[in-house]
Amino acid sequence: MSSTHKPSQNNKSTKAGENSSGMTRRAFLGRSAMTAAATAGATTVSLAVISPKAEAGWWDVFEPAVPHTPVSIAPYYTAITVGTGYGSSVTALRLGEAGIDTLMIEMGQLWDQLASDGKVHCNMINADARSMWFKDRTEAPVSNILGLPLVDRNIDRYPGVLDTLSYDNMKVYLGRGVGGGSLVNGGMAVVPKRAFFEEILPDVGADDMYDRWYPLAQSMLHVNSVTDEVYESDYYQFSRMAETCAHKAGFQTSDVPNVYDFDYMAEEIAGNVEPSATANEVIYGNNHGKQSLDKNYIPQAIGTGNVTLRTMTRVASITQGANGVYTLQLETINVAGDIVERLSVQCRYLFLGAGTMGTTELLMRARETGALPALSDEIGQGWGNNGNFMVSIANPLWKLTGAKQSGMPVRGIDNWDDPEAQVFAEIAPFPAGIETYTSLFLAITNNPERGYMTYDATADNVRLHWGPDQSQPSFDAAKKVFDRYNKANYCHYRRGLFEGNQPYADFFTYHPLGGCLLGKATDLYGRLKGYDNLYTVDGSLIPGNVGVNPFLTITALAERNIHKILREDF
């Protein structure tokens, strides 16, 4: 077992300044302010879909909430962060603490209002309008049952929480809303193996990262590990069974830390609180238990009194005036997605945290349209899918996964140290409500292939170029691991779950990385080459693959970079 995959276990205690839910006083005040700032627009609207929820009668008309009315903003801020994912949230908090007036701009909504079923988010089994960002149909990664497309369903268009961007040979999953990917992700918060970190980012001091910035990120995000009590419950039979099989095949497994509060999960299992992870909630948001960014960094940032949050507002373009001030053109949308306001805002310091795809698109548009022509040619290069590769395995009838499955993975097969098959395969749930005799794995492989992006002037967006064979290294490595796993356990590959009817999925990623690489398109702290006071703070800095799930590294790097920038650039 790798020590770097093992989290510190000491983060359960309540720290000074925190209340019993782990929220600091400043975060609590910020969270109240975050909600109060916009409640004037809080109401619900009928989308005339029948509620699938038990809380409402089947005859009730389901009404998702109308997004909060965006707050008014000033014409100028010292600093602006684009997006509200990990990179932006860290940056906004540290800017706010330093007394710098800062605006956060987010194209999605603040997810804190109850729909007519009494919930903020919908679950994966009964997905509704809240699930997807302006789509007519859900797009679950596991879309089929026995080869039939029975999982996805038609939905009304709405500014939902999960988005997909489709390119040739690759579909990218993203979170939309205040908190970005933290709203939809599986919460797995894993420190990469140090040797691999040093290989991919050799010029970023590993001592500093491992001694200071990763521990800070773990503490801020409330990373914890599954307790024995929870792991021994019915909800993790799927994981215990796969771990036993992995050991039988001679593999090591390791703990996968998470930001889901496992004490809360214990209470769910005991029936004392409203269930979330044990009630099929994850990719369309968790109503409880998960420490997403809207529970920690963002309310703390707003609690400084120096940070303003503008939602439902997309940054369309960026220019710079002769005085060095940046001007952002903004588009605010309504619940139907119509642009209801176009406005501009200026700043001296601009931090791009719109995620790998969003930041790269804004920068490529700026470079290619001549708005910021001195930006590096490196922008758009070095894109990777973090070697994401899903595998489905059919188990023999005597190896049961259980009908009850928690949505949060907590263990992985760690074969990273095998140079022939560098794979970290997380044991993923398949919560279908019945015994499926199926095990699912999200494998992170060491795929050295890289894609690139180009700007399409006619469509005014970017295209990702990822060839049909570029996932082959992932396939080869995963096959070595799972051939051995199957042979030792009377298992075989299960078709019929993924689009294309393969027993694996290499056509989508949850972990887009790169496009604006640290040390190439930027200096070693995210300062973009060619312009002063312009920074990248998100996953686009990371060169395509980090060997584990990426958000802890994005958070730690953002902490490291803003620490330096605040001392040297302001």
Catalytic residue numbers, as ranges: 426, 511
User: In sequence order, what are the residues at sequence separation of 6 or more whose Cβ sits closer than 8 angstroms to the Cβ of residue 244?
Assistant: none
Q: Are strands 61-62 and 49-50 parallel, antiparallel or unpaired?
A: antiparallel
CB of 250 to ligand FAE, least distance (A): 26
Q: Which residues bind ligand FAE (CB under 6 A)?
A: 82-87, 105-108, 173-176, 180-182, 184-188, 283, 314-315, 353-356, 358, 362, 510-511, 538-539, 549-551, 554
Per residue in 137-164, is it b (16+ CB within 10 Å) or e — as a string? ebbbbbbbeeeeeebbeebbebbbbbbe
Radius of gyration of the chain (CA): 22
Tell me the two tokens of residue 330: 């903004």
Angle subtended at Cα 445 by Cα 450 and Cα 497, rounded to the nearest 5 degrees? 105
Angle between helices 551-569 and 86-97 (to 10 degrees): 30
**What's the closest the beta carbon of residue 508 comes to ligand FAE, in angstroms?**
9
From 135, 188, 144, select the one nearest 166 (Cα to Cα).
135
Place of tokens 């006619």: 458
Least distance to ligand FAE, CB of residue 110, Å:
11
In whole angstroms, give the CA distance from residue 375 to residue 8. Answer: 40
Encoded tokens for 356: 């790998």
Q: Among residues 4 and 489, whose Cβ is nearest to ligand FAE?
A: 4
Query: How far is it, in rounded angstroms, from Cα 189 to Cα 124?
Result: 22
| Per-residue tokens: 254 | 């390791």
Nearest to 462 by CA among 473, 478, 451, 448: 451
Q: Give the type of residue at 348.
A: R
Contact criterion met (CB below 8 Å) for 70 and 311: yes
The two tokens of residue 341 are 């306001």
Q: Between 182 and 304, name the residue whose CB sits nearer to ligand FAE.
A: 182
Give 207-210's long-range contacts (Cβ < 8 A, gap of 24+): 208/560, 209/556, 209/557, 209/560, 210/4
Residue 35 CB burial class (10 angstroms; 0-12, 13-18, ≥19): middle
How deeply is 28 buried, as exposed, middle or buried, from its count of CB atoms within 10 A (0-12, 13-18, 19+)?
middle
Query: Nearest approach, Cβ of 551 to ligand FAE (angstroms)?
Result: 3
Q: How far is the CB of 358 from ligand FAE (least distance, A)?
A: 3
Residue 552 C-alpha from the chain's centroid: 10
How far apart are CB 122 and ligand FAE at their closest, in Å?
Answer: 14
CA-nearest of 279, 306, 298, 328 to 180 is 298
Measured in residues, the chain has a length of 570
Q: Are strands 102-105 and 76-82 parallel, antiparallel or unpaired?
A: parallel
The closest alpha carbon to 260, from 250, 272, 252, 268, belongs to: 268
d(CA 56, CA 433): 21
Distance CA 114, CA 288 (A): 13
